[in-house]
Structures are given as C-alpha cells and as structure tokens.
Amino acid sequence: MNPDITRERENATFDVEKLTHILDGDIEKTKRRREIESLVISDPDFQSEDLNFLSRSERYDAAVKKSAHMILKLREYGISDPEEIYCYKSCVHRGRAEPLDLHLGMFLPTLLNQASPEQMETFFIPAWNLEIIGTYAQTEMGHGTHLRGLETTATYDPATQEFVMNSPTITSIKWWPGGLGKTSNHAIVLAQLHTQGKCHGLQAFIVPLRSMNTHIPLPGVVVGDIGPKFGFDEVDNGYLKLENVRIPRDHMLMKYAKVEADGTYVKPPSAKLTYGTMVFIRSMIVGEAGRALAKSCTIAIRYSSVRHQSEIRPGEPEPQIMDYQTQQYKLFPLLATAYAYKFVGQYMNQVYHRITGDISQGDFSELPELHALSAGLKAFTTWTASAGIEVCRMACGGHGYSRCSALPDIYVNFVPTCTYEGENTVMMLQTARFLIKSYRQASAGHQLSGIVSYLNESERRLQPQSVSSRPTVVNVNDLASLVDAYKLRAAKLVEMAAKSIQQELQKRVSQEDAWNNSAIDLVRASDAHCHYVVVKLFAAKLGEIGDTGVHSVLSTLALLYALQGIQQHSGDFLQTGLLSVPQLSQVSQRLKDLLAQLRPNAVALVDAFDYRDEMLNSVLGRYDGNVYEHMFEWARRSPLNKTEVHESYHKYLKPLQAKL
Amino acid sequence: MNPDITRERENATFDVEKLTHILDGDIEKTKRRREIESLVISDPDFQSEDLNFLSRSERYDAAVKKSAHMILKLREYGISDPEEIYCYKSCVHRGRAEPLDLHLGMFLPTLLNQASPEQMETFFIPAWNLEIIGTYAQTEMGHGTHLRGLETTATYDPATQEFVMNSPTITSIKWWPGGLGKTSNHAIVLAQLHTQGKCHGLQAFIVPLRSMNTHIPLPGVVVGDIGPKFGFDEVDNGYLKLENVRIPRDHMLMKYAKVEADGTYVKPPSAKLTYGTMVFIRSMIVGEAGRALAKSCTIAIRYSSVRHQSEIRPGEPEPQIMDYQTQQYKLFPLLATAYAYKFVGQYMNQVYHRITGDISQGDFSELPELHALSAGLKAFTTWTASAGIEVCRMACGGHGYSRCSALPDIYVNFVPTCTYEGENTVMMLQTARFLIKSYRQASAGHQLSGIVSYLNESERRLQPQSVSSRPTVVNVNDLASLVDAYKLRAAKLVEMAAKSIQQELQKRVSQEDAWNNSAIDLVRASDAHCHYVVVKLFAAKLGEIGDTGVHSVLSTLALLYALQGIQQHSGDFLQTGLLSVPQLSQVSQRLKDLLAQLRPNAVALVDAFDYRDEMLNSVLGRYDGNVYEHMFEWARRSPLNKTEVHESYHKYLKPLQAKL
C-alpha cells in the first residue's frame, strides 16, 4: 500500500462503510452487490485479455462470449430481479455497453409492455431462451429524436394478411440500434403504419432478420454493422434496410393499437403509455451520470493523492498534487456533483416506481411533470458529467491520456448519453415547454402544485426585482437559503424566457417562430430549473442521514455544490438581484474554505463509492496507490511490444536509409 | 451537389476566395498550399485504407510507410522551407501526429540550436539522412511540466571520459516521447548532470538506443511502446529505462554548457536560451487550436445545412437544423472563435519571428512578456478549442459519434495540447506570475509598456469601482468599446488576485502558501488577460482588411465573439461594474440578432477555411453535402461486414441456444 494513500485514509473524519450503505440504499444492498461482484470477478469464464489491447472485432467477440456466458450464469444462480441483473451485467462488462443490451433492456421489456397475450406466448419464451435475439430499431439515418419524421413503412396487405415493410429512402435506413449489425436475428421495428389507404403513425413490428438456423440475413433484409465509433467497441450498432419484407399481421405489437384482419385500424386508449419507459430510462441515465462521474473522481482523486509534482515551498519535497488549490477546485466540486447525481438518480427511481403503481391503476396525473423533469435532468446531468469526466482525465496530466487510466474509456462510453434517448438540447426544450405552460397557467390564476409551484403568482411576488429595489436575504452559509436562491433564479429565468416569447409575438411573428427565437432563453431557464431541483434534492437527502460524521461531510459537499454553481453562474444571480457583489466575494472565499475543509476526506469520499479495482480497471485509480509499477507492467504487455523490432522497420525504414 | 448546400453558397454576401487568402497570409501562399496539397493527394503512394478500419499496429505501420515515403518526396521536390514541410506533412498525415514528428520537430532543431560545430558534423548529416532517427526524451513517468524534478542522471566518469546514464527509480523512466517506442535509434535525453561530485541541473545528451544495423535495443537500454492511448494511434510514444548506459563525453550537447575532459563544468551564458523554442511551439499550438476548431466547424456547419429535423412550424417540411437558434448559438460563436485563434496564431508567429531576430542579436527584452503570454494563450485556446470540438461533434447528433464524422479523431488528436508542452493550469499560473509581477511594478510607480500597460496606476484609476459609483460607458454595439471592457475586466481581476495574495499574507502565511491559496483567482485573472488579448487582436486584424464584403462579415464575427464572451462571463462584468443589468439584456438581444445575421454566411465562412474533402476525411463535412449515401457506403466497407455472419455466432450464440 502506498504510504500517501494510507495516510489519507487515516485522516478521514467519517465512517466510509456507512456512507457506502447510504449510496447503495442500505446495508443489505451493499452486501448483495458485493456478493454479485465477487461471483463475477472470481469466475474464470469472465476473464479476458485487457480490452485495450484488442482489435474491435476481437472486442466484439469477447463481449459476445461474456454475454453468452452471463445468460447461463444468471439462470444457474437464479438471478431474476431486474436490479440484480443490471448489477451482474455491469460487473461482467465493467459498465460497458454490450451486444445483448437491447435484447435485455428493450426487446424483452417492449414485448412485456406492448405484446398481446397471444404474442407473448409466441415470442416471449423463445426470446427468453435466446433463440430469438432481438433489438429495438427506431432511429433512422435521417431521423433521431423527432419520431414523427421516421420514414420506414409498414403497409398492410389484407389479401395475405401481411405487413409489407420498406425503407423507401436512403434516410429511412435504420441506423444505430445496438446489436442490430451482427447479433440479432429479430428486431422490433418502428414504422409508419399504412392501412386502408391511410397512415396511422408509428407502430411497433416484430421483424425476423436472420435465419434461425444459419444466422444468414433473410431475403429483402440488408443488415450490417455501421462501422467504428468513438467508443462502444463491443457493440454492433447496426443498419437495416427493408426491401418488401413481408411479416404476418400478428407481428405488429397489438396490446393497445390493433389492425384487424380486414385492415381496420383500432386506436390505442392513451398516447401517454410510452412515457413510463422513457422516464425509467432517463432516470437510469441520471444515475449513470452519477456513476460515471464517481468512477472518474475515484481515479483522479486517488491519483492526486499519490502523484507528487512541482513545488509549493522551495526546498521542500514535491507536494501531493491534491494540495494545489487549483487541483482541489477542479476535482472537489465534481466529487460533490457525483454525490448529487447519485441522490437524484435514487430519487427519480423511487418516484418512477411510485408513479408506475399509479399508472397501472390508470392515474396519469403525475406523469407529465415527471416526464418533463426527466427530460431536463437527463440533459443537465449528462452534459455536466461528460465535461466533468474530461476534467478528471486532464487533472491526471499526461497519464490520463493513456488508456491504462481507464478515463478515455469512461468518457467515450458515457458521452453518447448526451445524444441518445433524446438529444440534450431538445430535452431541455421539452422541459422548457412544461415550464412555460406552467408559468402561463400560474399567470392565468391557476394554483400550481408539485415542483413548479414556485411559478405561482404568490411566490413570484416575493422575489427581489433588481439590485437596488430591496436588500437581498440570501445567506451564503446556509444551504436552505441557497436552495431558495436557486429557486428564485429559476423563477426569474422562466419569466424572462416567457417575456422573450411575448416580445417576439409583439413583432407579429408566429407562435412557433417566437418559440425558436427565444430558444436560448428557454434552454437557460430549463437549466436553472434542473439546477434548482438537484440542489434541493441534495439538501433533502441530508435530512435522511442520521450518522453525525457522514452528515457533516455530506453537508460540506452539498454546500460546495451549491456555492460552486453560484460562482459559475454568478451573472444570473447578480442579474436577477439575488446576490450582491460583496456576497459574491463571500461565496468565493467560502468556496476556498470548503475546499480546504474537504481535503482530508477526499480519498475517503471516493472510497465510499466502493469500486473494486477490477471494476475500475484503472492503473491510476488503484486502491493501493501503487501506480507507477503497474503502469510499467501494463505498457510492457501492450501489443506493439510483442516484438523488439516492429516489422515496419524492415519494410520501410531500413530500405529508406539505404536510399538516402 | 446537395441543393441545400448549393443554396447556402448562393446566399453568401462576400467573396470566399478573398477570405481564404487572408487566412493563408496572401494569394501566393494560398496557391502554394494548394499545389502542395495536390501533390500529396494525387500521389498513389500516400493512399491507404481508411485508418478507422485498421488495428493500432496497422495504423502505426501505415504511418511509418507514409513518413518514409514523405522523406523521399520532400527531397525529390526540394521542399525545405519549414512551413512548406509542415504543410506537406500535415497533408500526408491529414493533420495527425506521426512517428517521425519528434525527429523532424525536436531532434533536428535541438541539434541545430544546441550542438557544437563538431557535434553538428558528427550527428546532423546522419540524422538528416535518417540513419540516425531521433526523438526528444524529457518527460518521465513521475515528472512532466516541472522540469527540475526530473530524475534521470548523467554522471561523468573522467577515467573513461564518458557519461554514465541511469534511470535510478521507477518514476525516472522516460515516458511519452513520440517515436521513442519503436521508431528511433537515438534520443536526446534530458538528465541531471553530475560531475566532480556536484549536480549541475538538466543537460541534453545524445543517447544511442538501438543498433544501427539490426534496430535491436543496445545493452542497458530498456525501450518500448507505452501502450494504447485515447488517440495518437500512429505514434509509438515510448518508455526508456537506462541502466548504466555509457556514452562518450562529446554526446552531451555543448554549444552552451560544457563539461571538460577532467569533468569541469562550464555554465551556459544565459538561462533564457530555451525560451525561444517554447514560444515557437506554443505559437504553433495556438494556430493548431484555430485549425482544429476550423475543421470541426466546417464539418458541423456543412452538416447542419443538409440535415433536416423536427419542425419549427407544424405542417411545413422539416427545417435545416441550422435554422434552430440553439444550433446557431452552439456553432457560430465557435466559428468566430476559430477565426479569432487563427489570427492570434498568425500574430504570435509574426512576433516570434521578429523577436527571434532580436534574440540572435542578444536582445532578450521582449522575451519574458512573450514567454508569459504564450503560456496563457496556449492554455486559453486549447481548453476552449477542445471543448468546442466536442460541442461541434454533439451538434451533429448521433452521427457525430461515428468515426466517419472525423470529429472523434479531431478531438483525441487535439486534446493532448491541453497537457503537453506545459499543463494548462500551470501555464495559466505562469502567465499570472508575470501579471502579478507587472501589477506590483506598476503599483510601485514603474511605468509598464507592452500588452500589460493597462496595469499602470494611471490606467487603473480610470476604472469604475462598483455598480453604483459611476455610470458605465461600454457601448455593446462598438467593438472598440468592448475591447476596452475586456481590458478593464482583466485589470480588475489581476487586482483582485493581487489583493487575495495580500490578504493571505496578512494571515501570516508564507509567500508560497499565499500564492497557492489564491491560485483560483490567479487562473481567473490570466484567463481574463488572455481573453482581452484575443479580442484585441481580432479587432486589430479587421483594420488590415480592405475588402468591404469580407470586412463586414468578419466584423460581425468579431462582435459575436466579444459579446458571447461577455455573456458567458457576465458575472465578471457585472461584479466589476463594467456592465449594468439592462446592458446585459442588450447583449443577449444583440447576440441573437448577430446569429440571424451570420446565418446566410455560415457555410461560406467555413468554405473559406478551404479544407479539401481529402483533408477533412469526414462523411458529414463533405463539400457536396451528399452525406447519407456516403455514410452507407462507408459502413458497408467496415471490417465487421467482411462476413455476413460473425464467427462469434458459431462460437458462442449457437451453442448457447442449444443449452437453454
């Protein structure tokens, strides 16, 4: 064990294990997670060469191997709880995406949610037994977030009682679905339903893609891998071009909407039914933002405690780089953010489960608010976390750029969350739409409830209007007061966005153009709303924590999170008159104090995330801090070192030397 | 040609070709650059498979092949001007780093600058003829930016007149030098010189690494590749462990410092001699920030003009995504930034050449200011450009994540500039050191000249002190007035940082601790200083432009750049009383107007960067806008599609299906 990191742990002021339980949910969950991790990590069938040393085809191969093995093991151990499956899977693939993700996470759940009982009988058991390997094909080359624009067609032919599936244009080729390229033999395909001469919009169809015996693509199915990407090397994201592919009528998912034998279309009872899945996936992504950032902070903070560099005081030994204020300022707010997002993820998950209960009883009342909030929070957290991972990576200096740090991998595997499941700017505007609607309702005298209740007229009258009009009352040392400040900032920015729309309308432009011409303000308002929600939920979490030591360190983190956000957005707080210039100086000073205060607990706070070395797979983030020996050992194993002299020497350099 | 992109070009209000000449320097330079590009692009020996489809070893192999061929061609064509070599090399390797970079860019120049005439005779011609392939080994596993911390030793043995080179610790192993792992047979090694029982600090030594005949490492030389990285797949960044490697006395570079036969050490005449090289490399990096961002903007803006998505007005066709205000707000300020950095790069290059003339005549007077400025500007521009590349990538939605967009590649190959040649935060603090020193001189009554003259007492007395004390005079529509505002902001933030140090000192902490405890403020001050310099240089550039159309569009870009910086840092401008709250609203409105104003010229502005398709190598950034067909064609060529059924199906999935 590196003595620096040992000393860091000795200096911690709280019980790390207790904090781990809070992050997991409770002591039992921690225990169970560790059991599952041990099962996977000790299993020789899940060992593989370092993925960084493999080609993409080899990485895909290794992933399929592990996934196949995983399916067997899950059955053997009788693991069937979705959360436990997720935990097991994350552990097998070390948090990476894998070829069966969409089979497990989209194909099976979509069957469960949208297949009729007869369809369940036909498809579910084969899919459960991996005879049918499925994916979910929605995105097309020309259309992503805007679903109505999808072009794939399913035209009903009553003569044969079949749908004829087509990709009528190049832009309509399905593009991106995971596992589509090579792995899947079926896909749930989203297509525009045409029957009896009319288009009835998007429906889901089960389309066989490859022979169940030979895995060779079926006639009319042009399918393949979309090629190398920034990351996701293990996943065969695919393309699918359908050329008059005929599927039986019962291959349209018919739990809700239906097409009868003669081609009559029967509408589904509610359009909001798919909201639930979206909310669930977004809540998972928010949790993932917390995890990706937690991993990155673990690596960067542990490394910062063993890396010595430069000098603060001449003549003294080189200090740990974590002693530099600039290093603390880079990493500690991100550490606080990781905690914040983990708590937000927990909250969203709880709300989702509560609301799902209501929905199954036909109560959709809370869905619009949650749907709108989940869109914005997904965007808010994934943007910050993505940028934060890179800050962590660069905070490790040059070595962060090596794949042995694991940070490049964390980044490229996380950053697509900014785009998939709804492009982030579009998501922010979705939340903004809800905020503006709520604002208008409040302005019209309706009393809002829930998280947007701050938009009520009565609340808004309490706000300071400008620097001069009234003394501000924010106490920069009090978290509750800061939550209030964030709330008032959100209220003010929503109002400003609404007024911008109003001003545009006065120029006689259309509603739609007024909206587009105010989009910058709308995104800004959404961002402020989400920031308020995160600060509020972090503060609320503190109320649940009994242990004094843990409560104290988390309170410091929460305060740091809130104050750093204010410093970053100081323009907003000054502009809206919520803070004065002298208060802003106080914020700066207090932030510096908090960094120093957190310094002794930094390593313990990342230890509490409880990532085993096998899960982090980072030379820089090792628990024992013995970085350099292992970096050397890792490098020596790398492929270019298999021979002392690379063949290119004999092929090009030696002949060149002869010529010159 | 895609009709959307044709229409964009028709709508442009200026002569693209004229702007290209300004970017290149003049019409002749544009001509010559295009000649060189055509030479390379038409040369069949430089063709290769798409690098995205190759393994790392294959990419390294392909790069060595091209580099070897390039050396022959440069001789054949008689290209010897450094700028032309750089242009040719960039074109061969499409802007990527390559195995001979350090041979050409560091080994040869270091010989030229630091070798004695005798050493030139011994080493230069063999190096020029690539018998000696060299690299520059400075960074160690445990030490990067802080050079004094380097641990490699060179101990003089007068008995044999040799230096004994050693890597005494694991942290002293040389780590990262490009071309060190496999390509080079020599290295210039930076090591602590020990002679006559004393350490005389860092000196440079020429160390033979591999046999000139067999390329096998010499005894005592442990050398290899450091393993895969985020990018730089073509480069064999290497490690080097020296175990009692003996080199003759004349292998220490002795133009300045010397060790005599008996071991007597002779000091060099000035310690500032190496500053020039650093300044030059940093000026190149600033230019590279402009280029990386220019390429990224070219791709994102062209794609935004052909991509249609979602709806602004219901019922109408899907608009080009460039019509969304949010998309304009992401891309146009980055476009302005790319122009700004290109002009800053030009400026630094000019100043460097001017000053180099002075230095060769023994005049070092301007060097400290330029050295300090180059450090900050390198950090300022590389941070912004790195983040900007990712914004461009994500502005392309999902397809930006595909390697066919080229954006992942641009990012991973550019982002190391934030770390190499001086870690960015350390660079910012170097600039801050100069600013604080200048501030103190000014406070002590000295009259400063040059770019920091705004720190003079007389200047500072003109500044507004707080919101209430005096009316602000900034005109948000006038670029000169905005340059002034940036200047006053910088002055204020330097003052605040200086005061923070003062306050710390009053707590009776040491100078060094006071500095570290104010580091956040110091970085912020540096950042403001650099921002001021960039805005000022952009404004100055406008003065050189005669063509009305070009002048007009660049003026709009410059104003956008300045106003967006103010919006992003509105807290600073409010806090320092330079802008009022109503003015900030004006800034927001004006920004929106400028976005709309630039919209018709966006494609033309990226066309003016004049990147040929072969140089961009991006399906999304194609000049003809025919994105989708080529994306499909690219995907079909990718390695996983070489077989219809991947072997993993037979190995794992088929057997699994039998078991379940």
Q: What is the pLDDT of residues A229-276, one digit of tens each?
A: 999 999 999 999 999 999 999 999 999 899 999 999 999 876 666 667
As a whole number of angstroms, the distance between CA A423 and CA B498 comes to 44
Q: Is B549 annotated as a binding residue?
A: no
**Of B225, B401, B520, which has the smallest distance from its Cβ to A638's Cβ?**
B225
Do B646 and A145 lie within an 8 Å CB cutoff? no
What part of A 331-360 touches B (C-beta under 8 Å)? none
Beta pairing class for B258-259 and B265-266: antiparallel
Cβ–Cβ contact B648 with A under 8 A: yes
Cβ atoms of B431 and B372 closer than 8 Å = yes
Q: What percent of chain A has pLDDT over 90?
A: 86
pLDDT in tens, A125-173: 999 999 999 999 999 999 987 888 999 999 999 999 999 999 999 999 9
pLDDT of the residue at A274:
64
Q: Is A298's pLDDT higher than 90? A: yes
* Known catalytic residue at A118: no
- What confidence score (pLDDT) does residue B268 get? 86
HEC per residue, A389-433: HHHHHHHCHHHHHEHHHCHHHHHHHHHHHHCCCCCHHHHHHHHHH
Question: Any binding-site annotation on B357?
Answer: no
| Cα–Cα dist B397/B321, whole Å | 10
Query: pLDDT of B112-165, one tens digit each?
Result: 989 999 999 999 999 999 999 999 999 999 998 788 899 999 999 999 999 999
Say which residues have a Cβ less than 8 Å from residue A276's Cβ, sequence separation at least 6. Answer: A352, A355, A356, A359, A367
- Residues 140-169 on A with a CB inside 8 Å of B are 141-146, 149
Best of A648, A651, A659 to substitute, by most chain B Cβ atoms within 10 angstroms, is A648
On the question of pLDDT at A630 being above 90, the answer is yes
- A598's enclosing H/E stretch is helix A581-598
Chain A residue with Cα closest to B509? A313
Q: In the prediction, which pLDDT does A271 show?
A: 62
Contact: B176, A398; criterion CB under 8 Å: yes
Nearest CA in chain A to B130: A657
Q: Which residues of chain B have pLDDT under 70?
A: 270-275, 359, 460-472
Region for A149 from its dihedrals, namely left if φ exceeds 0, alpha if ψ lies in -120 to 50, beta otherwise: alpha
**Sign of the torsion formed by the C-alpha atoms of A391, A396, A398 and A401:** negative
Q: Kindly compute the dihedral angle of the four CA atoms of residues B503, B507, B509, B514, in this order, to the nearest 10 degrees.
A: -20
Smallest Cβ distance to A68: which of B133, B570, B652? B652
| B440–chain A Cβ distance below 8 A for any pair | no
DSSP string, B551-581: HHHHHHHHHHHHHHHHHHTHHHHHHTTSS-H
Tokens linked to B578: 């330079």
List the single residue in B60, B309, B636 with the smallest CB-CB distance to A640: B60
CB atoms within 10 A of CB B379: 29
Four-CA torsion B121, B125, B126, B129, nearest 10 degrees: 180
Smallest CA-to-CA distance from B174 within B221, B215, B214, B218 is with: B221
Q: Does residue A594 contact residue A500 with C-beta atoms inside 8 Å?
A: no
Nearest Cα to B211, choosing from A643, A638, A645? Answer: A645
Strand ranges for B493-599 from DSSP E: none
Residue A200 has pLDDT above 80, yes or no: yes
pTM: 0.97
Q: Is A173 within 8 Å of B640 when comparing Cβ atoms? A: no
In terms of Cβ atoms closer than 10 Å to its own Cβ (0-12, 13-18, 19+), residue B419 is buried
Tell me the residues of chain A between 21 and 80 that have a Cβ less than 8 Å away from chain B.
52-53, 55-57, 60-61, 64-65, 67-69, 71-72, 75
Q: Does residue B167 contact residue B154 with C-beta atoms inside 8 Å?
A: no
CA distances from B578 to A429, B474, B533, B564, B573 (A): 32, 7, 18, 15, 5
Edge-to-edge strand list for the sheet holding B238-242: B174-175, B238-242, B221-225
- Cβ atoms A156, A166 nearer than 8 A: no
Q: Which residue has the tokens 């025919």?
A: B626
Beta bridge partners of A136: A188
Cβ–Cβ of B139/A628 closer than 8 Å? no
pLDDT (mean) for A206-222: 97
Q: What are phi and psi of A225, to 5 degrees?
A: -85, 140
Structure tokens belonging to residue B397: 């939605």
> Active site residue: B140, B421, B423, B644, which one?
B421
**Interface touch A649/B215, C-beta < 8 Å:** yes
**CA A392 to CA B196: how far, in whole Å?**
44
> Of the candidates A311, A332, A336, which has an alpha carbon nearest to the alpha carbon of residue A599?
A332
In the three-class reduction of DSSP (H, G, I as helix; E, B as strand; rest coil), residue B248 is classed as: strand
Please give the single-letter amino acid code of residue B340.
A
Provide DSSP, B292-354: HHHHHHHHHHHHHHH-B-S-SSTTSPPPBGGGSHHHHHHHHHHHHHHHHHHHHHHHHHHHHHH
| Distance, CA of B642 to CA of A226 (rounded, Å) | 12
The residues, any chain, with a CB within 8 Å of residue B175's CB and separated by 6 or more, are A398, B139, B140, B141, B226, B239
**A323 lies within 8 A of chain B by CB:** yes
Q: Contact A401/A393 with Cβ under 8 angstroms?
A: yes
CA pair distance A140, A163, nearest whole angstrom:
19
Asked if B556 and B594 touch (Cβ cutoff 8 Å), the reply is yes
Residue with structure tokens 């007597």?
B264
Crossing angle for the helix pair B519-542 and A325-360, to the nearest 10 degrees: 90
Compare CB distances from A520 to B139, B144, B326 and report the shortest one's residue.
B326
Model confidence band, residue A68 (pLDDT cutoffs 50, 70, 90):
very high
> In a mutagenesis test of the A interface, which of B330, B518, B520, B524 is the best target, namely the one with the most A β-carbons within 10 Å?
B520
Rounded to the nearest angstrom, the minimum Cα separation between B280 and chain A is 21
Helix (H) or strand (E) holding B202: strand B198-208
Task: Give me A18's structure tokens.
Answer: 């207790």
Dihedral through CA B407, CA B410, CA B411, CA B417, nearest 10? Answer: -170
User: How far, in Å, CA of B126 to CA of B128, rounded?
Assistant: 5
**What pLDDT was estimated at residue B274?**
64
Would you call B570 an interface residue with chain A, using a CB distance cutoff of 8 Å? Answer: yes
Q: Is the dihedral of CA B420, B425, B428, B430 positive or negative?
A: negative
Residue B540 token pair: 């100055």
CA distance B363 to B370: 13
Burial readout B502-536 (b: 16 or more C-beta within 10 A, e: otherwise): eebbeeeeeeebbbbbbbbbbbbbbbbbbbbbbbb
Decide if A202 touches B, using CB distance below 8 A. no
Report whether A439 contacts A372 (CB < 8 A).
Answer: no
Q: What is the DSSP letter of B217?
A: B
Beta-carbon contacts of residue A185 (< 8 Å; ≥ 6 apart):
A132, A133, A134, A208, A209, A210, A211, A212, A215
Chain B contact present for A633, CB below 8 A: no
User: Which chain B residue has its CA at the smallest distance from A656's CA?
Assistant: B68
Nearest CA of chain B to the CA of A143: how many Å? 7
Marked catalytic residue, from A140, A421, A495, A504: A421
Share of chain B above pLDDT 90, in %: 86
Contact B641/A225, CB-based, under 8 Å? Answer: yes
Per-residue confidence at A461, pLDDT binned at 50, 70, 90?
Answer: low
Task: Compare CB distances from A635 to B225, B397, B638 and report the shortest one's residue.
Answer: B225
User: Smallest CA–CA separation between A35 and chain B, in Å?
Assistant: 25
Angle of CA points B386, B613, B5, to nearest 5°: 90
Residue A170 in contact with partner chain B when CB distance is under 8 A: yes
B634/A contact by beta carbon, under 8 A: yes
Helix (H, G, I), strand (E, B) or coil at A341: helix
Asked whether the beta carbons of A91 and A37 are under 8 A apart, the reply is yes
Q: Which residues on adjacent β-strands are paired with residue A247?
A: A163
User: What's the gap in Å between the CA of B400 and the closest CA on chain A?
Assistant: 9
pLDDT at B313: 79
Q: Is the pLDDT of residue A638 over 60?
A: yes
Name the minimum distance, in Å, from the CA of A131 to any CA of chain B. Answer: 6
